[in-house]
């Protein structure tokens, strides 16, 4: 439904002391504040003026407080302004609109640049982390290789020690076997060293 021209002629945002970009929460908050401030019971020195102001605030809230009514009002208000503004005022509004559009475009471009920088930084960090992981893995592999070499050397040394131990035991056993002569006899290397009994 089209909104009555009389409504479009009133700047309800100005009535609520808000910008045209106000959020629903800001509209509701402004209405409650102004309704308390302008209530006739709180303005007994000028009850008639307070009543008029209070009614305007209520009307503004009824129009802007509902999303669908607000959209209809914004459209009707823009059409009314285009039809009733002077050429200079229209040009000024066009300049202001262009400035807003350019600012929004710049914000969007800056957001894209920030996102690209963040992506680039994340990629660099990932590459550095990957390089650190590779370095750590390489160092760990070197340490593991050294440990394996040391373990192999220790094992070889232990096998050599055991082999020598077995040789010594074998020699000792062989030497011990030479000493198993009959009672009263001397080992072969000592038999010729004693003088015969006279």
User: What's the predicted TM-score (pTM) here?
Assistant: 0.44
Domain count along the chain = 2
Write out pLDDT tens, residues 75-87: 999 888 888 877 7
Q: How confident is the model at residue 158 (pLDDT cuts 50, 70, 90)?
A: very high
Shared domain check, 79 and 10 = yes
d(CA 151, CA 143) in angstroms, rounded, equals: 12
Between 2-6, 126-130, 168-172, the lowest mean confidence (pLDDT) is in 2-6
d(CA 60, CA 147) in angstroms, rounded, equals: 82
Residue range of the domain that includes 80: 5-84
Residue 14 belongs to a domain: yes
Looking at the chain, the whole-number percentage of residues with pLDDT higher than 70 is 86
d(CA 83, CA 141) in angstroms, rounded, equals: 80
Shared domain check, 107 and 80 = no
Write out pLDDT tens, residues 12-69: 999 999 999 999 999 999 999 999 999 988 888 888 998 999 999 999 999 999 999 9
- Write down the residue that tokens 């010594």 correspond to: 168
DSSP assignment of 60-90 equals HHHHHSSHHHHHHHHHHHHHHHHHHS-HHHH
Residue 103 has pLDDT above 60, yes or no: yes
Shared domain check, 27 and 67 = yes
Arithmetic mean of pLDDT over the chain: 84
Give the residue from 84, 109, 137 where a domain finishes.
Answer: 84
Residue 190 has pLDDT above 60, yes or no: no
d(CA 60, CA 36) in angstroms, rounded, equals: 15
Find the mean pLDDT for residues 142-156: 90
The reported pLDDT for the residue numbered 182 is 47
Give the residue from 68, 84, 100 where a domain finishes.
Answer: 84
DSSP 16: T
Shared domain check, 78 and 15 = yes
Residue 196 belongs to a domain: no
Residue 151 has pLDDT above 70, yes or no: yes
In 3D, which of 9, 19, 10 has the Cα closest to residue 58?
A: 10
Residue 22 belongs to a domain: yes
Residue 131 has pLDDT above 60, yes or no: yes
Residue 191 belongs to a domain: no
DSSP 195: P
Shared domain check, 166 and 91 = yes
Residue 119 belongs to a domain: yes
Give the residue from 84, 113, 138 where a domain finishes.
Answer: 84
The torsion angle over the Cα atoms of residues 49, 52, 54 and 60, rounded to 10 degrees, is -140
DSSP assignment of 126-170 equals HHHHHHHHHHHHHHHHHHHHHHHHHHHHHHHHHHHHHHHHHHHHH
* CATH number for the domain harbouring residue 15: 1.10.287.110
Residue 133 belongs to a domain: yes
Residue 145 belongs to a domain: yes
């Amino acid at each position: 439904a089209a909104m009555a021209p009389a409504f479009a002629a009133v700047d309800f945002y100005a009535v609520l002391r808000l910008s045209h970009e106000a959020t629903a929460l800001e509209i509701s908050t402004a209405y409650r504040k102004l309704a308390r401030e302008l209530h006739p019971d709180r303005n007994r020195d000028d009850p008639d003026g307070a009543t008029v102001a209070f009614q305007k605030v209520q009307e503004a809230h009824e129009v802007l407080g509902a999303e669908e009514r607000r959209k209809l009002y914004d459209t009707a208000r823009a059409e009314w302004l285009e039809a009733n503004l002077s050429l200079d005022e229209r040009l000024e509004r066009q300049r202001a609109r262009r400035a807003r559009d350019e600012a929004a475009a710049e914000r969007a471009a800056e957001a894209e640049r920030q996102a690209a920088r963040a992506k680039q930084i994340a990629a660099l960090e990932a590459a550095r982390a990957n390089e650190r992981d590779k370095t750590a893995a390489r160092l760990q592999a070197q340490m593991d290789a050294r440990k394996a070499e040391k373990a192999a050397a220790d094992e070889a040394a232990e096998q050599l020690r055991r082999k020598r131990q077995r040789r010594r035991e074998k020699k000792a056993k062989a030497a011990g076997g030479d000493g198993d002569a009959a009672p009263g006899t001397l080992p072969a290397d000592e038999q010729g060293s004693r003088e015969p009994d006279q």
